[in-house]
Chain A
Amino acid sequence: MTEPRYTPLRARHEALGASFTDFGGWQMPVRYTSDLAEHHAVRQAAGIFDISHMAEFTVVGADAAAYLDYALAGRLSAMTVGKAKYSLLLAEDGGIIDDVIVYRLDDADFLIISNAGNRDAVREALQARTDAFDVTVADVSDEYALIAVQGPAAEAILAEVTGIDEVSIPWAEQKYYAWATATYAGKPLLLARTGYTGEDGFELLVAAADAEALWDAVLAAGEPHGLVPAGLAARDTLRLEAGMPLYGHELTLETKPAQAGLGRVVVADKERFVGKDALAAGPAPDARVLVGLSAEGRRAGRAGYAVVAEDGTPLGEITSGALSPTLGHPIAMAFVDASSAEEGTAVFLDVRGTKIPATVTALPFYRRKK
């Protein structure tokens, strides 16, 4: 076993009384007080999350854009400076190594943020694909902390944080899936209007040494707005309601993008990219597809539970499931046979031997009001 890792905000979490859990080799706050209260705070006001465990890579060089078109599933060369884009890092066989967000910092300068547990695999794949390109990939994860401020009050809170100055784009004009720059305590800060909760919000990339001061400053500014520190338990139910996939659950090396509803992320007509040939062959005829499931009552289907027909015939398997805090009924994402994937199809969840009726439902389960 390798030693558990802690983010630069460990002491803050301990002082706030957080319970910790292992996530991708990191000891992360799972909750501070109540995961339901933290969930509702993000939907109604705001929450602050430490997501410093996530990995960051810089991609710099004259061929950076062309390189990313080859190394990732999307057409990153078409993204303008200032924008961010969700993308996939595929294996040669079309399986998913990770899902990432790519930020175009300049014409030949990109930032990639990937999942914590895939840091080594992402670094290895990115570096193995540089050969034909004038580009340098660097793992800069240890230099930064990443703090997410999510919820309808996020913009108002961040605009009031003491110490954030020189914001390059007025807060209200910052677009979703775009970034701006600022300074915190005089040092560079990247502000990305992205998130993993289904709410408006920002992710702040800050030098690791300044993370604690920034965390304190956001908490102080946010308190009158109802902001609370929120842990991974709330983050998981929030993203599930928003229909967002989680690597290791909805996305794996064995999952092809189209199965997971991510066909739109793959620009198949690019001349070449890793995974192109395998995906051109199309999905296996018996490939299961990702669907949303809604049930009644309070008893949730969990990851690994079977989805079955009334007579018990296996139809698929749940990858994530919980009692939705916002909606008040159980929701789940599951891979099911294509014949059972149509919206409205009645199925059953095998909850430890009890069959719970469920209905195939369009994702996301929850969409914020604009």
Chain B
Amino acid sequence: MTDLTALKYSEEHEWVALDGTTATIGITDFAADALGDIVFVELPAVGTELSRGDVFGEAESTKSVSELYAPVSGTVVEINDAVVDDPALVNSSPFEGAWLIKVEVADGALDGLLDRDAYVAITEA
């Protein structure tokens, strides 16, 4: 199991895990539950330059469409083809199997993101 307290979070319900200079990004269980069953995920091409707040993709459920917002700035170095092939992973494994993209980031890229307690607080507001 992922240690959720080791992740950082955005107010748009993305999570970020940092390993060296590589940030792995996904959406939270809260967001996945709110959307319902995810049936389509669109992700950016490797090499795409993202600035924090950019729309980097879309997640569609049977009922709705949601844009995905980059929680950090950087260059996309890898995308998760498994989740494009099987979007239901977002619901079944939001923090593990359904990571969405990996982004090469600069020092301090995660500054200003929320810790677990602060994120949980906004989902319970």
Binding site for B on A (CB under 8 A): 19, 30-31, 34-37, 39, 233, 236-237, 298-300, 302, 322-323, 325, 352
Determine whether the beta carbon of B40 is less than 8 Å from that of A300.
Answer: yes
Which residues of A are found within 8 Å of B37, using beta-carbon distances? 34-37
Given A233-B62, A322-B62, A323-B62: A298 touches B39 (CB 8 Å cut-off): yes
Find A35's partner among B40, B60, B63, B87 (CB 8 Å cutoff).
B63
Chain A, Cβ-Cβ closest to B84: A298
Say how far B83's CB is from chain A's closest CB, in angstroms: 12
B63 contacts A236, CB within 8 Å?
yes
Distance, CA A34 to CA B91, complexed state (A): 9
Residue of A nearest to B67 (CB): A352
Partner of B65, one of A19, A298, A302, A325: A302
CB-based contact B62/A36 at 8 Å: yes
Let me know if B36 is at the binding interface, CB within 8 A.
Answer: yes
Interface string of B52-63 (1 = CB under 8 A from A): 000000101111
**Given contacts A19-B33, A34-B91, A233 and B63 within 8 Å (CB-CB):** yes
Kindly name the residue among B33, B42, B60, B87 whose own CB sees the greatest number of chain A CB atoms within 10 A: B60
CA distance A298 to B91 in the complex (A): 17
Q: Which of A31, A34, A36, A299 contacts B60 (CB 8 A)?
A: A299
CB contact under 8 A between A237 and B65, given known A34-B91, A35-B36, A299-B40: no
- B40 / chain A contacts, CB cutoff of 8 Å: 298-300, 323
The answer for the CA separation of A19 and B30 in the assembled complex, in Å, is 12
CB–CB A233/B39 < 8 A:
no
Alpha-carbon separation in the docked complex, A29 to B33 (Å): 14
Residue of chain B at shortest CB distance from A21: B63
| CB-nearest residue of chain B to A325 | B62
A351 to chain B, nearest CB (A): 9
In the complex, chain A residues whose CB is within 8 Å of the CB of B39: 36, 298, 300, 323
CB-defined contacts of B42 to chain A, threshold 8 Å: 299
Smallest Cβ distance from A27 to chain B, in angstroms? 16
Q: How far is the CA of A300 from the CA of B61 in the complex (A)?
A: 10
Contact A35 to B33, CB < 8 A, known contacts A298-B39, A323-B39: no
Complex: A299 Cα to B65 Cα, angstroms? 10
Q: Can you give 20 contacting A-B residue pairs, CB < 8 Å?
A: A19-B36, A30-B63, A31-B36, A34-B36, A34-B91, A35-B62, A35-B63, A39-B62, A233-B36, A233-B62, A236-B63, A298-B39, A298-B87, A299-B42, A299-B60, A300-B39, A300-B40, A302-B65, A322-B62, A352-B65
Cβ–Cβ < 8 Å partners of A237 in chain B: 62
How many Å lie between the Cα of A308 and that of B86 in the bound state? 29
Which B residues from 86 to 120 make CB contacts under 8 A with A?
87-88, 91
User: Lowest 5 CB-CB distances: which A-B pairs, in order?
Assistant: A36-B37, A298-B40, A323-B39, A233-B63, A35-B36
Q: In the assembly, what is the distance between CA of A35 and CA of B42, in Å?
A: 21
Q: How far is the CA of A298 from the CA of B88 in the complex (A)?
A: 12
Most chain A beta carbons < 10 A, residue from B40, B60, B62, B91: B62
Identify 8 new A-B residue pairs, CB closer than 8 A, beyond the known A34-B36, A298-B87.
A19-B34, A31-B36, A34-B37, A35-B61, A237-B62, A298-B60, A300-B60, A322-B63
- Within 8 Å CB of B36, what residues of A? 19, 30-31, 34-35, 233
CB of B23, distance to nearest CB on chain A (Å): 26
Q: Which residues of A contact B33 (CB under 8 A)?
A: 19
Nearest CB on A from B71, distance (A): 22
Q: Chain A's nearest CB lies how many Å from the CB of B49?
A: 20
* Nearest-neighbor residue (CB-CB) of A232 within chain B: B63
Q: How far is the CA of A72 from the CA of B34 in the complex (A)?
A: 40
Q: Which residue on A lies nearest to B64, using beta carbons?
A: A302
CA distance A257 to B34 in the complex (A): 36
Question: What's the Cα separation between A299 and B87 when bound, in Å?
Answer: 12
A221 and B37 alpha carbons, distance in the complex (Å): 27
User: In the complex, A72→B87 CA distance in Å?
Assistant: 46
Tell me how far the C-beta of B36 lies from the nearest C-beta in chain A, rounded to whole angstroms: 5
Closest residue of chain B to A351 (Cβ to Cβ) is B65
